[in-house]
Protein backbone atom coordinates (compact mmCIF):
# COMPACT_ATOMS: atom_id res chain seq x y z
CA UNK A 1 0.00 0.00 0.00
CA UNK A 2 1.38 3.40 -0.99
CA UNK A 3 1.14 5.93 1.83
CA UNK A 4 3.11 8.65 -0.03
CA UNK A 5 5.60 8.70 2.86
CA UNK A 6 8.20 10.77 1.03
CA UNK A 7 5.55 13.31 0.01
CA UNK A 8 4.36 13.55 3.61
CA UNK A 9 7.91 14.07 4.83
CA UNK A 10 8.51 16.82 2.26
CA UNK A 11 5.17 18.40 3.14
CA UNK A 12 6.05 18.54 6.86
CA UNK A 13 9.41 20.10 6.03
CA UNK A 14 7.67 22.73 3.92
CA UNK A 15 5.15 23.58 6.67
CA UNK A 16 7.97 24.26 9.11
CA UNK A 17 10.09 26.15 6.59
CA UNK A 18 7.28 28.45 5.40
CA UNK A 19 6.29 29.29 8.99
CA UNK A 20 9.87 30.24 9.90
CA UNK A 21 9.77 27.90 12.88
CA UNK A 22 12.37 25.42 14.08
CA UNK A 23 10.49 22.21 14.77
CA UNK A 24 7.26 20.68 16.05
CA UNK A 25 5.52 19.85 19.31
CA UNK A 26 3.34 16.73 19.42
CA UNK A 27 0.90 15.75 22.14
CA UNK A 28 1.79 12.09 22.68
CA UNK A 29 -1.31 10.28 23.88
CA UNK A 30 0.19 6.81 23.72
CA UNK A 31 -2.14 6.05 20.79
CA UNK A 32 -1.56 5.15 17.16
CA UNK A 33 -2.18 8.56 15.57
CA UNK A 34 0.20 10.68 17.63
CA UNK A 35 2.79 7.89 17.40
CA UNK A 36 2.64 7.82 13.60
CA UNK A 37 2.85 11.63 13.45
CA UNK A 38 5.91 11.51 15.71
CA UNK A 39 7.58 8.98 13.42
CA UNK A 40 6.85 11.08 10.33
CA UNK A 41 8.09 14.29 11.95
CA UNK A 42 11.33 12.65 13.03
CA UNK A 43 11.93 11.49 9.46
CA UNK A 44 11.18 14.99 8.19
CA UNK A 45 12.97 17.14 10.75
CA UNK A 46 15.29 14.93 12.78
CA UNK A 47 14.64 13.79 16.33
CA UNK A 48 16.32 16.88 17.77
CA UNK A 49 13.57 19.09 16.30
CA UNK A 50 10.60 17.10 17.59
CA UNK A 51 9.29 17.57 21.13
CA UNK A 52 6.80 15.11 22.61
CA UNK A 53 4.46 16.01 25.47
CA UNK A 54 2.27 13.62 27.43
CA UNK A 55 -0.65 15.38 29.09
CA UNK A 56 -2.30 13.02 31.58
CA UNK A 57 -5.51 14.13 33.23
CA UNK A 58 -6.70 11.40 35.58
CA UNK A 59 -5.49 9.08 32.81
CA UNK A 60 -4.59 5.42 32.98
CA UNK A 61 -0.88 4.86 33.58
CA UNK A 62 -0.54 2.69 30.48
CA UNK A 63 -1.15 5.66 28.17
CA UNK A 64 1.74 7.66 29.64
CA UNK A 65 3.95 4.56 29.54
CA UNK A 66 3.13 4.12 25.84
CA UNK A 67 3.82 7.80 25.15
CA UNK A 68 7.22 7.39 26.79
CA UNK A 69 7.84 4.26 24.73
CA UNK A 70 7.18 6.22 21.53
CA UNK A 71 9.57 8.99 22.59
CA UNK A 72 12.27 6.44 23.38
CA UNK A 73 11.67 4.51 20.16
CA UNK A 74 12.13 7.58 17.96
CA UNK A 75 14.67 9.36 20.16
CA UNK A 76 12.74 12.56 20.81
CA UNK A 77 12.76 14.82 23.85
CA UNK A 78 9.83 14.01 26.11
CA UNK A 79 7.96 15.85 28.85
CA UNK A 80 5.04 14.86 31.06
CA UNK A 81 2.71 17.70 32.10
CA UNK A 82 -0.02 16.47 34.43
CA UNK A 83 -3.03 18.74 33.96
CA UNK A 84 -5.24 16.93 36.46
CA UNK A 85 -5.16 19.64 39.12
CA UNK A 86 -5.78 22.37 36.54
CA UNK A 87 -8.76 20.43 35.22
CA UNK A 88 -10.16 20.02 38.73
CA UNK A 89 -9.78 23.72 39.49
CA UNK A 90 -11.36 24.89 36.25
CA UNK A 91 -14.25 22.45 36.52
CA UNK A 92 -15.06 23.38 40.10
CA UNK A 93 -14.80 27.10 39.31
CA UNK A 94 -17.21 26.86 36.38
CA UNK A 95 -19.64 24.71 38.35
CA UNK A 96 -20.06 27.39 41.01
CA UNK A 97 -22.40 28.98 38.46
CA UNK A 98 -23.07 26.44 35.69
CA UNK A 99 -23.71 22.71 36.00
CA UNK A 100 -21.64 21.12 33.24
CA UNK A 101 -22.77 18.14 31.18
CA UNK A 102 -20.64 15.00 31.24
CA UNK A 103 -19.42 15.47 27.68
CA UNK A 104 -18.59 19.16 28.10
CA UNK A 105 -16.64 18.24 31.22
CA UNK A 106 -14.71 15.55 29.36
CA UNK A 107 -13.92 18.02 26.56
CA UNK A 108 -12.20 20.38 28.99
CA UNK A 109 -9.31 17.91 28.96
CA UNK A 110 -8.35 18.11 25.26
CA UNK A 111 -8.83 21.88 25.31
CA UNK A 112 -6.41 22.22 28.22
CA UNK A 113 -4.00 19.97 26.34
CA UNK A 114 -4.19 22.20 23.27
CA UNK A 115 -3.48 25.30 25.37
CA UNK A 116 -0.49 23.58 26.96
CA UNK A 117 0.95 22.44 23.63
CA UNK A 118 0.69 25.96 22.20
CA UNK A 119 2.35 27.49 25.25
CA UNK A 120 5.29 25.13 24.82
CA UNK A 121 5.37 25.51 21.03
CA UNK A 122 5.36 29.30 21.14
CA UNK A 123 8.14 29.29 23.72
CA UNK A 124 10.30 27.00 21.58
CA UNK A 125 9.42 28.59 18.23
CA UNK A 126 7.76 25.36 17.06
CA UNK A 127 4.52 24.38 15.31
CA UNK A 128 1.87 22.13 16.87
CA UNK A 129 1.33 18.93 14.89
CA UNK A 130 -2.21 17.57 14.52
CA UNK A 131 -3.06 13.90 14.83
CA UNK A 132 -6.68 13.49 13.68
CA UNK A 133 -7.24 10.84 10.99
CA UNK A 134 -9.80 10.83 8.15
CA UNK A 135 -12.16 8.42 9.93
CA UNK A 136 -12.34 10.68 12.99
CA UNK A 137 -12.69 13.80 10.88
CA UNK A 138 -15.57 12.27 8.89
CA UNK A 139 -17.42 11.62 12.16
CA UNK A 140 -16.41 14.92 13.75
CA UNK A 141 -14.89 12.71 16.43
CA UNK A 142 -12.55 15.29 17.85
CA UNK A 143 -12.88 18.21 20.22
CA UNK A 144 -13.26 21.60 18.60
CA UNK A 145 -10.35 23.77 19.76
CA UNK A 146 -9.00 20.70 21.57
CA UNK A 147 -7.30 17.94 19.60
CA UNK A 148 -8.86 19.69 16.58
CA UNK A 149 -6.60 22.70 17.22
CA UNK A 150 -3.22 22.48 15.47
CA UNK A 151 -1.03 24.05 12.79
CA UNK A 152 -0.83 21.15 10.33
CA UNK A 153 -2.08 17.58 10.06
CA UNK A 154 -0.19 14.87 8.13
CA UNK A 155 -2.87 12.17 8.68
CA UNK A 156 -5.95 13.95 7.34
CA UNK A 157 -6.29 11.67 4.28
CA UNK A 158 -5.75 8.33 6.08
CA UNK A 159 -8.40 6.07 7.60
CA UNK A 160 -7.77 4.21 10.86
CA UNK A 161 -6.71 0.99 9.12
CA UNK A 162 -4.32 2.97 6.93
CA UNK A 163 -2.82 4.74 9.95
CA UNK A 164 -2.26 1.37 11.58
CA UNK A 165 -0.59 -0.03 8.46
CA UNK A 166 1.60 3.07 8.12
CA UNK A 167 2.50 2.84 11.79
CA UNK A 168 3.71 -0.72 11.30
CA UNK A 169 5.78 0.39 8.30
CA UNK A 170 7.34 3.23 10.31
CA UNK A 171 8.21 1.04 13.31
CA UNK A 172 5.62 2.20 15.85
CA UNK A 173 5.73 -0.29 18.76
CA UNK A 174 3.22 -3.13 18.45
CA UNK A 175 1.46 -2.62 21.83
CA UNK A 176 0.34 0.82 20.65
CA UNK A 177 -0.99 -0.42 17.33
CA UNK A 178 -2.77 -3.41 18.85
CA UNK A 179 -4.83 -1.75 21.59
CA UNK A 180 -8.42 -0.56 20.95
CA UNK A 181 -8.52 3.09 19.78
CA UNK A 182 -9.54 5.39 22.63
CA UNK A 183 -9.56 9.13 23.27
CA UNK A 184 -8.80 8.36 26.92
CA UNK A 185 -11.51 10.69 28.17
CA UNK A 186 -12.54 8.26 30.92
CA UNK A 187 -11.69 4.78 32.18
CA UNK A 188 -12.75 2.06 29.75
CA UNK A 189 -13.77 4.50 27.01
CA UNK A 190 -13.30 3.36 23.40
CA UNK A 191 -13.89 5.29 20.19
CA UNK A 192 -16.20 2.74 18.59
CA UNK A 193 -18.32 2.35 21.71
CA UNK A 194 -18.80 6.09 22.01
CA UNK A 195 -19.57 6.66 18.32
CA UNK A 196 -21.90 3.67 18.05
CA UNK A 197 -20.30 2.47 14.81
CA UNK A 198 -17.16 0.55 13.93
CA UNK A 199 -14.16 2.06 12.18
CA UNK A 200 -14.63 -0.63 9.52
CA UNK A 201 -18.11 0.73 8.73
CA UNK A 202 -16.79 4.31 8.65
CA UNK A 203 -14.01 3.31 6.27
CA UNK A 204 -16.45 1.48 4.02
CA UNK A 205 -18.60 4.61 3.93
CA UNK A 206 -15.60 6.82 3.11
CA UNK A 207 -14.48 4.57 0.25
CA UNK A 208 -17.83 3.52 -1.22
CA UNK A 209 -20.41 6.04 0.02
CA UNK A 210 -22.39 3.36 1.84
CA UNK A 211 -22.25 0.65 4.51
CA UNK A 212 -24.77 -1.41 6.50
CA UNK A 213 -28.11 0.33 7.00
CA UNK A 214 -27.81 0.94 10.75
CA UNK A 215 -24.28 2.32 10.56
CA UNK A 216 -25.08 4.41 7.49
CA UNK A 217 -27.88 6.21 9.30
CA UNK A 218 -25.58 7.04 12.23
CA UNK A 219 -22.66 8.16 10.05
CA UNK A 220 -24.75 10.42 7.81
CA UNK A 221 -26.52 12.02 10.76
CA UNK A 222 -23.33 12.61 12.74
CA UNK A 223 -21.39 13.83 9.69
CA UNK A 224 -24.08 16.43 8.99
CA UNK A 225 -24.34 17.54 12.63
CA UNK A 226 -20.57 17.98 12.99
CA UNK A 227 -19.96 19.92 9.78
CA UNK A 228 -19.21 23.06 11.82
CA UNK A 229 -16.11 21.29 13.18
CA UNK A 230 -14.60 20.85 9.72
CA UNK A 231 -14.81 24.47 8.58
CA UNK A 232 -13.21 27.70 9.69
CA UNK A 233 -15.24 30.00 11.97
CA UNK A 234 -18.04 31.81 10.19
CA UNK A 235 -17.11 35.40 9.34
CA UNK A 236 -19.77 38.00 8.69
CA UNK A 237 -19.55 39.76 5.34
CA UNK A 238 -22.12 42.51 4.66
CA UNK A 239 -23.88 42.33 1.32
CA UNK A 240 -23.59 45.34 -0.96
Specify the 3-state DSSP secondary structure of 25: strand
Catalytic residue among 2, 6, 14, 33: 33
| Active site (annotated) includes residue 102 | no
Distances 17 to 21, 97, 126, 203 between C-alpha atoms, Å: 7, 46, 11, 33
Distances 90 to 60, 105, 187 between C-alpha atoms, Å: 21, 10, 21
Distances 194 to 73, 188, 212, 236 between C-alpha atoms, Å: 31, 11, 18, 35
| Active site (annotated) includes residue 136 | yes
Specify the 3-state DSSP secondary structure of 7: helix
State the Cα–Cα distance between residues 72 and 141, nearest whole angstrom: 29
CA 214 to chain centre: 27
Catalytic residue among 63, 136, 162, 191: 136
Q: Which residues are catalytic?
A: 33, 136
Amino acid sequence: MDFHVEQRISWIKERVKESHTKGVVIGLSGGKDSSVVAALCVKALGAENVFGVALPCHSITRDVDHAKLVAETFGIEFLVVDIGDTFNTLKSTIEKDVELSDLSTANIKPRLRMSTLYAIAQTKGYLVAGTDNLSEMTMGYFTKWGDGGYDFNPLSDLTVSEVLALGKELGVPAPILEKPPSAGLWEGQTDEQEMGVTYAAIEEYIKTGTTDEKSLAIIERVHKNTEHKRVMPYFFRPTK
